[in-house]
Structure 1
């Protein structure tokens, strides 16, 4: 028996010179929440909790861990992360329902699941990818993400020089976006691919107009052109010139199963730090592959969650790509530069035990705004 004896979480914020803009809001700093779990024998594991939104979300997630979730975790056997995740998801459902905060509860549980798998893999002396799937590869295809349509002329060449050959551009800002996308596509080199992400920017009518206007381009996918929670009939009315992608704003295996049965999405993108951790996202990824669809984990955060996403994709397998945000983020880069992990379009998952990082770098500790511990 190795019960959980200690939980810690750190909210961090790093200033950035250039804000990160999406169609629904602007990030003026880069936040992250890192979670550490330790059992009675001193074994430990790390995870990351989604903290990009709302603006004050990082500190809230730390308090949620310490005050609401830790009491349900401390003393619980830590050797079976899947069992812990499923038990806690059910046990905390009513509390999340009572306060209407399914997202925050799910996000903290996602970080906890990562940490428990990290702990288990460290005990076994294996990378998480191989703990989840013994034949998992050590490299996975990756793409450069977070590229604002107005900054593509600068960021795509930089990402290309880093080693990427697939690029995802954010749209949904103006009625000139389609023309800009055409210019970007015309500048790609042989073998390079382009995907788009609207971050739920448009009405179904506006999305259809945009998709019609770029439908002749060989786009890899169009991500969240409309609100993720709109009835499926709205999604079915969208033109299918471009494959549709989504999943970062879907939570729970029943919801993903419903999306798969509806057959609208061609690319499924659950986020390891937003819902499910390894346990939930692994199940969704494998279900997507069984259905003949693509699984590409979503991620836009710090260094632990990015590393976890790489392990997850390696374990699930298939033709998917790892999302790597190429905007400056010290809370990611302090764990290792992107250029040191990407070559020829492939991300090095890593062969160290667990997810990889064993402690928070000093630069990350210097960015801590809030810390809580429960034991």
Structure 2
């Protein structure tokens, strides 16, 4: 990943910016707003909390001083996982040791990880040994380079999560409904969420189908689950630091890291003298300086089953790659195309793409994209395969 904006990347940005200005026509003058980010980053660039470029060596000089480095992720983002690998590789390049704590592995499987730590299980056997497909389920290959690095540099790895089924059971039964064996897997003392996080948690609850964000009982139980989750992972991270004798890099979903509300808040209670550093992905939307100590730029992207990769850049859905043997290519989609609308819905986020797909399914109609190609708008019906012709 590029640590600084390369000449190639800079030229690409200049071309895109020029194109957007040309397409904009005459626009009204606007009053300058506060500048959150001082540059247009490329995928993989690092950003400090002021919104300025952050050289990788400076990031590392800050991270090596921390007892806990928490790196948030979107679970399906390849870019996020590359950044996580790069950070761990950078921290251990000078023969420094760190332990790695995974949200993706439950603490109940620590015996398997211990055998891996001792060199008794190779990386190739971990997916089966950990029952990864039925546990975490997200593609193991995204984490494989990190496990290979741990194997190569003799880094201790640990599972932070409690069994995934317990999340559902606490939702449905509460703590009193759990067996004594299950209750023993959870923290004895639950550290509640920060008051300033509560509204955000209610919004997350409202996104869950079948949940009522106005029901006090459901709210209380949802807060309980989140608090158990973050407290439990913080407890295991503290244990990992003590048992390994090394600083801990924690890999977890961004919701457990951002603003220091999740795991970091609990670490401050459980290990009050420790220094904590948080690093979060930034998707190119609104920039919140308080969301983390540092950031890496990984725009929202999605590789469709049609064989195209969509990336959200400056609020536009840009096709960044198309596979020649897949349907996207055959119906005429090309790299550089912008999906202006999908099923009549303006596409400014990946959520809009999902909404369009759902709408097409409910209406029992083929999905239709409105494509913006260098300022020319036209529709592509994904239910049809036009006769191929050479691109101009």
Give the TM-score band, short-chain normalised: under 0.3
Query: What TM-score results when the alignment is normalised by the length of structure 1?
Result: 0.25
Greater relative contact order (Cα 8 A, min sep 6): structure 1 or 2?
1
Q: In terms of Rg, which structure is larger?
A: 2
Query: What TM-score results when the alignment is normalised by the length of structure 2?
Result: 0.24
